[in-house]
Amino acid sequence: MKKRIGSILTALALGLTAQAQTPRLIIGAVYVGGVNDYGYNRSFHDALAQVARDLPGVKLLEAENVPESGEVERVMEGMIQHGAKLIFPTSFGYQDSARKTARRHPEVCFEYAGDGAATRNFGVFFGSTQAAWYPMGVAAGKMTRTNKLGFVIGLPIGYALGNVNAFELGARSVNPKAQTVVVVTGGWSDKAKEAGAANALLDQGCDVVGMHVDSPATIIQAVEARGAMSIGFQSLEARALAPKGWITGLGFTWAPFFTRIANAVIAGKFRGEAIYQGLGEMVAVAPFGAAVPADVRKLVNAAADKVAKGYNPFTGPLNNNQGGQALPPGATVGADQMGDLNWYVEGVIGKVR
């Protein structure tokens, strides 16, 4: 009994000191989905949790499943009332609400995951994944036995086509016979169709499947259930879903960038900028699965290094999959032009529209 009272008293004392220590910075984060999705939202949550752990006096306020509507403005206003001085609106569709809120609160800093112009208190950032898919293609091209790779995408937007193209280019660089078959599901989160798409690809003899959808969980599990191999996307943690068939994957690593921004806000030196970083900065290669032999790991790491040092797989001459030339010799498509991409590279089986 005495012990219990003692512990209650300590708890009270701790609570009081915690309250006395006002945090140096309160960070607000708004997510469009749940943070345990093994995908996009989890990547942000993991990074911000790390920032809160590493920097003393930083507190994190999070809101999950916030729709891309006026709702997000209310959530951000609430965070500001609770003292948030740095806010991460992490979904593309938050743009208008976030910009409006930023104009109303010039004293609060925003870092928006998307595109558009930066202002003094409104930074814009995103990870460029397209070139990063090149080493994923190297991994798939080496691991496939059927020379048929599958790729499930939600919608044929430029960013997704870029991922597919770099994947195929990487695969061809080590396996000239490798083809990539694309299935479009028509949405970023239609789980039943994602399972059907994975099955359709496996039915056609694909033995490695990559994907660009919100959460890779359904596809990776469907592929694993049929004994094929997968390459993950969005969160590095997705490998837990495929103990046998996991090759590798791409995940976002926002923590170093977020730490830099948090420190800038604490120091009062924040200035909004548009920052896009690729492999080696905001994007990382996930750990390899057990089935991946050492020589393949070496090749993939070498390709990843090459891309991190600035190699652009989208360098002409490149043919499209309709038999025409997509890029003349020497021409390139930069990371900032991926949104406008509208062709599949030779070796991809699929139609853009």
Partner 1 sequence: MTTPLFSGVLAGAILSGTSLLYATLGETLVERAGIVNLGLEGILLIGASTGFATAAATGSAWLGLLVAALSGGLANILFGWLVVSRRANQLASGLAMLFFGFGLSALVGTPYVGAVITGLPKWRPAWLAALPWVSGSTLFNYDALTWMALPVAVLVWWALFRTRWGLGVRAVGESPAAAFASGRSPGILQFQALSAGGVLGGLAGAHLSLSLTLTWAEYMTAGRGFIAIALVIFSKWHPLRAVAGALLFGGAEALQLQLQARGTDVSPFLLEMFPYLLTILVLLAWGGARRLAAPASLGRTFYGSE
The residues of the shown chain that bind partner 1, judged by CB under 8 A, are: 33-38, 42, 64-65, 150, 156, 181-187, 189-197, 199-201, 203-206, 214-215, 217-218, 221-222, 226, 240-241, 349-351, 353
Q: How far is the CB of 149 from partner 1 (least distance, A)?
A: 12
Burial class (CB in 10 A: 0-12, 13-18, 19+), 72: buried
Report CA Rg, the chain. Answer: 22
Task: State the Cα angle at 258 between 256 and 261, rounded to 5°.
Answer: 110
Indicate the residue among 135 and 347 with the shorter CB distance to partner 1: 347
Q: How far is the CB of 287 from partner 1 (least distance, A)?
A: 18
Indicate the residue among 83 and 158 with the shorter CB distance to partner 1: 158
Cβ neighbours for 58, distance < 8 A, ≥ 6 positions apart: 23, 24, 25, 26, 27, 51, 52, 262
CA distances from 222 to 147, 194, 217 (A): 20, 9, 9
Indicate the residue among 83 and 196 with the shorter CB distance to partner 1: 196
Q: How far is the CB of 54 from partner 1 (least distance, A)?
A: 24
β-bridge partners, 315: 332
Q: How far is the CB of 112 from partner 1 (least distance, A)?
A: 23
Indicate the residue among 275 and 352 with the shorter CB distance to partner 1: 352
Q: How far is the CB of 179 from partner 1 (least distance, A)?
A: 9
Cβ neighbours for 127, distance < 8 A, ≥ 6 positions apart: 252, 254, 276, 277, 278, 281, 282, 283
- In this structure, what token pair is assigned to residue 339? 């949104």
Indicate the residue among 322 and 325 with the shorter CB distance to partner 1: 322
* Order of strands, sheet of 25-30, starting from the edge strand that comes earlier in the sequence: 58-63, 25-30, 86-89, 109-113, 122-127, 274-277
Q: How far is the CB of 324 from partner 1 (least distance, A)?
A: 15
Indicate the residue among 131 and 242 with the shorter CB distance to partner 1: 242
The alpha carbon of residue 168 and the mean position of all alpha carbons in its chain are separated, in whole angstroms, by 19
Q: How far is the CB of 160 from partner 1 (least distance, A)?
A: 12
Indicate the residue among 7 and 322 with the shorter CB distance to partner 1: 322
Cβ neighbours for 249, distance < 8 A, ≥ 6 positions apart: 136, 216, 230, 231, 232, 233, 236, 238, 239, 285, 286
